[in-house]
Amino acid sequence: ETGVTQSPTHLIKTRGQQVTLRCSSQSGHNTVSWYQQALGQGPQFIFQYYREEENGRGNFPPRFSGLQFPNYSSELNVNALELDDSALYLCASSLGQMGVDTQYFGPGTRLTVL
Amino acid sequence: AQRVTQPEKLLSVFKGAPVELKCNYSYSGSPELFWYVQYSRQRLQLLLRHISRESIKGFTADLNKGETSFHLKKPFAQEEDSAMYYCALSRLTGGGNKLTFGTGTQLKVEL
């Protein structure tokens, strides 16, 4: 069984640029959630995708957007990057989107915005 | 709004001493509570969750709805328990299982 994978592991961008982060969910999982973890903070929920539809969104502006593909892999896109977007971005997958469905996390993508 | 509070950023204990990592929450519905752990250079992983009522690596946590707490306990700390611990909450019923995390507690077990 393959766990959650994310790419790239590290990324450096400049303010105003756009970035795409990728996530492959664990085998058999149809739900993907994205989290932002700033230095010294716990992860914060960005949004969730369930069977290719957005299924909940946290307090993030519209320049944070996502996609889920038929194979349940997912992308997180961030436009007009700001310095405060520098963080670790975590992807988590689960068997479903119910409370009983445990989320399994990937290793994260470290984004630095200069 | 749902909120998770972990009052200690750092907890330092000696090997063999009891450990208690505090977690308080606020949530208007029926919550499911979790403890996630991150060992050095490893990904965030589930340690235990309330609904499973399991004891993992000697850790237990009891949900106290009156005090809205879900403290993590272990009677005898081991060196390998040194890690970052996050308490998290999600809804138990209905759709959507987004997690709300606390800010984490760094546990350091000293010899």
Interface test with A, best of B44, B47, B53, B56 (most A CBs within 10 A): B44
**Do A41 and B91 count as a contact with CB atoms less than 8 A apart?**
no
pLDDT tens over chain A, length 114 residues: 579 999 999 999 999 999 999 999 999 999 999 999 999 999 999 999 999 999 999 999 999 999 999 999 999 999 999 999 999 999 999 998 887 788 999 999 999 999
Counting Cβ atoms within 10 Å, is residue A6 exposed (0-12), middle (13-18) or buried (19+)? Answer: buried
* Parallel/antiparallel/unpaired status of strands A19-24 and A74-78: antiparallel
Nearest CB to B95; choose among A42, A98, A102:
A98
Interface test with B, best of A51, A103, A109 (most B CBs within 10 A): A103
pLDDT, tens digit, 9 for 90 and up, residues B50-70: 888 777 899 999 899 899 999
**Do A58 and B51 count as a contact with CB atoms less than 8 A apart?**
no
**Do A58 and B98 count as a contact with CB atoms less than 8 A apart?**
yes
Q: Is the alpha carbon torsion for B24, B26, B27, B28 positive or negative?
A: positive
